[in-house]
Amino acid sequence: MTPWMPGLAVTVTVPASSANLGPGFDSVAIGLDLRDRCTATISDRPGVRVSVSGEGAGAVPTDARHLVVRAMLRAWEVAGVAAPEGLDVVCVNAVPHGRGLGSSATAIVTGVGAAYGLMSARDGGGVADLGRIDHGVADLAAVNDLAADLEGHPDNSSASVFGGLTLSWADDAARAGGIPHTRTVRLDPHPTVRPVVFCPEVQLSTATARSVLPAHVLLRDAAANSARAALLVHALTAAPALLLPATRDWLHQEARRPSYADSMALVDALRAAGHAAVISGAGPSVLVLTSDVPAVTAYAPAGWAVLDPGFAADGLRVE
């Protein structure tokens, strides 16, 4: 087996994501062109050292407990490859943490992508095209599978792997090592639509947001939600005029209303004015899918950041 050579390095960039988009719970997401950047370098010094700047600086571990490193180690374990004895990881983060923009999925995809990229570079395969959807140099499907398994659901991670609009589901088959097989279809959003994100100062953990979800839903609500989820795909790709009814949800937002009351108040105000507003992921950020950015940004509450990142044209990039 080819040894790890000190100085071997890859740089990975991965986009943020917004999941659910109303009715597409745990299955539909978009990549946002707001990217975390990470350089992983094989070191001749034993141990793991992590440097973090930007979002999360001072609040996340800077050793092997860091989520990017944990994802790297898991990727090597699944591949049957011994991890290097020394590793330096430098993270420059732009994706807000705890705001419903997929920061944990971004870190996981970063780690898996970096691990695959280092293996490819070590073995002479090259990594320049790893993150390009139209090149078969690396198996993005394998990255997608492992990232979804580590994240626990495929929506955010798949959008970070592929960019664009992603529709994901679990296949019955499993990869070697027992990793569930996640299938993803990537689509292009309609060119007139832009994602606008209202991002509050407060954070909300995904675990907290999921803990209040009901164990059962009424059949009529499930049927209504299924219809809107189907409409959502049509509206976002071909018929933007239908985005308001297409983003109506019956499964998760109302159940979580007490957890992010200010966010739901903003969603209510925007939807009453005809704008397709939803909670972004597990919240508390609010996403609006719009063709009129100035009209939407006028609703920004005091103290909330307004992001207009555009859709991520692609996902994982490795250099």
Q: Per residue in 287-302, pLDDT tens?
A: 999 999 999 999 999 9
Mean pLDDT score across all residues of the chain: 92
Backbone CA torsion sign across 92, 20, 152, 208: positive
Amino acid at 17: S
Please report the pLDDT score of residue 124 as a whole number: 73
Q: Does residue 246 lie within any of the structural domains?
A: yes
pTM for the whole thing?
A: 0.93
Section 132-150 average pLDDT = 72
Q: Does residue 268 lie within any of the structural domains?
A: yes
Q: Would you say residue 138 has pLDDT above 90?
A: no
What CATH number is given to the structural domain containing 161?
3.30.230.10
Please report the pLDDT score of residue 311 as a whole number: 98
Q: Does residue 2 lie within any of the structural domains?
A: no
Given a contact cutoff of 8 angstroms between Cβ atoms, the answer to whether 266 and 273 are in contact is no
Residues 291 and 219 in one domain: yes
Lookup result for tokens 């930007």? 54
Residues 177 and 261 in one domain: no
Given a contact cutoff of 8 angstroms between Cβ atoms, the answer to whether 21 and 278 are in contact is yes
Backbone CA torsion sign across 20, 21, 27, 32: negative
pLDDT (tens digit per residue) in 66-76: 999 999 999 99
Please report the pLDDT score of residue 176 as a whole number: 59
Residues 228 and 177 in one domain: no
Q: Does residue 277 lie within any of the structural domains?
A: yes
Backbone CA torsion sign across 237, 242, 247, 251: negative
Q: What pLDDT band is residue 137 in, cutting at 50, 70 and 90?
A: very low
Section 115-134 average pLDDT = 66
Phi and psi at residue 142, in whole multiples of 5°? -70, -40
DSSP label at residue 255: T
Please report the pLDDT score of residue 123 as a whole number: 80
Please report the pLDDT score of residue 189 as a whole number: 98
Rounded-to-integer distance, Cα 286 and Cα 267, Å = 7
Q: Does residue 3 lie within any of the structural domains?
A: no
Residues 44 and 154 in one domain: yes
Given a contact cutoff of 8 angstroms between Cβ atoms, the answer to whether 126 and 146 are in contact is no
How many domains is the chain built from?
2
Q: Does residue 101 lie within any of the structural domains?
A: yes
Rounded-to-integer distance, Cα 125 and Cα 182, Å = 25
Rounded-to-integer distance, Cα 229 and Cα 223, Å = 10
Q: Strands, DSSP E only, in 116-251?
A: 165-174, 180-187, 194-199
- ω before 284 within 30° of 0 (cis)? yes
**Percent of the chain beyond pLDDT 70?**
94
Q: What pLDDT band is residue 172 in, cutting at 50, 70 and 90?
A: confident
Rounded-to-integer distance, Cα 175 and Cα 27, Å = 20
Residues 201 and 80 in one domain: no
Q: Would you say residue 131 has pLDDT above 70?
A: no
Amino acid at 98: G
The CA distances from residue 88 to 107, 150, 212, in Å, are: 16, 22, 39
Q: Would you say residue 33 has pLDDT above 50?
A: yes
Range of the domain at 25: 9-188+312-318
Rounded-to-integer distance, Cα 6 and Cα 11, Å = 15
Q: Does residue 115 lie within any of the structural domains?
A: yes
What CATH number is given to the structural domain containing 257?
3.30.70.890
Residues 182 and 70 in one domain: yes
**Reduced 3-state DSSP string for 97-154:** CCCCCCHHHHHHHHHHHHHHHHHHHHCCCCCCCCCCCCCCCCCHHHHHHHHHHHHCCH
Across 96-112, b (16+ Cβ under 10 Å) vs e yields: bbbbbbbbbbbbbbbbb
Residues 25 and 162 in one domain: yes
Q: What pLDDT band is residue 170 in, cutting at 50, 70 and 90?
A: confident
Please report the pLDDT score of residue 264 as a whole number: 96
Please report the pLDDT score of residue 130 as a whole number: 47
Q: Would you say residue 32 has pLDDT above 70?
A: yes
Q: Does residue 295 lie within any of the structural domains?
A: yes
Residues 166 and 204 in one domain: no
Beta-carbon neighbour count of residue 266 at 10 Å?
A: 23
**Tokens standing for 87?**
């590793």
Q: What pLDDT band is residue 134 in, cutting at 50, 70 and 90?
A: very low
The residue among 189, 230, 234 whose CA lies nearest residue 33 is 189
3-class SS of residue 299: coil
Q: Would you say residue 267 has pLDDT above 70?
A: yes
Backbone CA torsion sign across 60, 162, 118, 179: positive
